């Protein structure tokens, strides 16, 4: 039996996924799907988490008392590799997969306890970035074996470049055309100049690193791909605290990027260039989703980062 408040507008995914008929149909099927998974995997779920926008996620407990999390994602491209990536890392720096159902994009995961996000943790932004850098190095250190069913960064970002240009023509003429063009160009060119190849986490933001017991910090929610490690740090560096808000954003971000580049052993120019590319992609995606304010914010961030990079 699912809890009484399992579904409805208080759960973010029910507010976010209303744009298309397919999204609304998926939300309508979700209660039956969760009930079926509870039965099949012999688990009980609690009240869903109130963060996250592309998945229904709730604490769960298994029949032998293990603490778990049930995550059912809206079936989309980025969610397809989550189980594959988590299994690849085999619990080293990430949560373990207890069960998965690829057809329904459902995962039963090891639960992080107490599960406090790095975004909320004690310590200065710099201290928390150092924690993030250590964890990221650990993820990158596992060499990709053959036969991994993951997409390649360059294939995905080349498609994004096309989407950026198409969305700009259709919706974004008021945006800074130079920054849009720069972002689209970088999405294509950066993968061709990468000097190493790892399994990237793909969504390494401060909300996706949680305190745990088995290891002090575990990553959740990967959108893994194979490619340039410098692709990864953007979300961590730009979402830890509010680095764009202060009077000296350029100074703060410049120092932060240099520190992180040093800690992960990647060139700072590539971290900045990927950040411009990803911020532009994110801006045009937000515009397409009907969030023009978010799009303008991301474009401003892309412009500022391009300035720091001297691009």
Kindly list the residues in this chain that would bind ligand ADP in the complex (CB under 6 A): 49, 51-55, 57, 69, 71, 95, 109-112, 115, 207-208, 210, 220-221
Instruction: Select 13 or 279, whichever has its Cβ closest to ligand ADP.
Output: 13
Minimum distance of Mg ion from residue 54's CB (angstroms)? 8
Instruction: Detail the DSSP E strand segments found in the chain.
Output: 43-45, 55-62, 67-73, 97-101, 106-110, 198-200, 209-211, 217-219, 225-227
Instruction: Identify what 111 binds: Mg ion, ligand ADP, none; CB under 5 to 8 Å per kind.
Output: ligand ADP
Residues that bind Mg ion (CB under 5 A): 52, 208, 221
Instruction: Identify what 210 binds: ligand ADP, Mg ion, none; CB under 5 to 8 Å per kind.
Output: ligand ADP
Minimum distance of ligand ADP from residue 220's CB (angstroms)? 4
Instruction: Select 47 or 189, whichever has its Cβ closest to ligand ADP.
Output: 47
Cβ 17 vs Cβ 26: under 8 Å: yes
Minimum distance of ligand ADP from residue 267's CB (angstroms)? 29
Residue keyed to tokens 């023009």? 292
Check residue 262 and report its DSSP letter: H
Instruction: Select 3 or 53, whichever has its Cβ closest to ligand ADP.
Output: 53
Residue keyed to tokens 């507008």? 9
Cα separation, 247 vs 166, whole angstroms: 35
Instruction: Identify what 186 binds: ligand ADP, Mg ion, none; CB under 5 to 8 Å per kind.
Output: none
Minimum distance of ligand ADP from residue 95's CB (angstroms)? 4
CA distance to 153, 174, 310, per residue, from 264 (Å) = 19, 37, 22
């Amino acid at each position: 039996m699912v809890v009484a408040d399992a579904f409805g507008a208080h759960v973010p995914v029910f507010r976010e996924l209303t744009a298309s008929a397919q999204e609304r149909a998926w939300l309508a099927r979700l209660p039956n799907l969760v009930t079926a998974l509870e039965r099949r995997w012999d688990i009980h779920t609690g009240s869903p988490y109130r963060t996250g926008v592309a998945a229904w996620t709730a604490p769960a407990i298994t029949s032998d008392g293990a603490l778990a999390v049930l995550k059912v994602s809206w079936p989309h491209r980025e969610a397809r590799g989550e189980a594959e990536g988590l299994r690849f890392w085999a619990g080293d720096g990430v949560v373990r997969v207890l069960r998965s159902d690829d057809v329904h994009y459902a995962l039963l995961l090891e639960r992080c306890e107490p599960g406090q996000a790095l975004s909320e943790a004690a310590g200065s932004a710099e201290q928390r970035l150092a924690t993030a850098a250590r964890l990221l190095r650990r993820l990158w250190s596992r060499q990709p074996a053959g036969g991994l069913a993951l997409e390649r960064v360059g294939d995905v970002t080349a498609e994004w470049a096309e989407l950026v240009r198409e969305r700009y023509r259709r919706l974004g003429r008021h945006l800074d055309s130079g920054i849009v063009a720069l972002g689209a160009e970088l999405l294509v060119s950066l993968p061709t100049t990468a000097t190493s190849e790892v399994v990237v986490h793909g969504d390494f933001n401060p909300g996706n690193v949680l305190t745990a017991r088995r290891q002090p910090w575990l990553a959740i929610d990967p959108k893994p791909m194979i490619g340039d490690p410098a692709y990864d740090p953007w979300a961590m560096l730009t979402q830890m605290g509010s680095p764009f808000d202060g009077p000296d954003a350029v100074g703060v971000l410049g120092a932060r990027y240099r520190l992180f580049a040093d800690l992960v052993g990647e060139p700072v120019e590539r971290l900045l260039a990927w950040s411009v590319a990803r911020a532009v992609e994110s801006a045009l995606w937000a515009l397409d989703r009907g969030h023009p304010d978010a799009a303008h914010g991301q474009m401003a961030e892309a412009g500022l980062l391009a300035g720091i990079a001297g691009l």
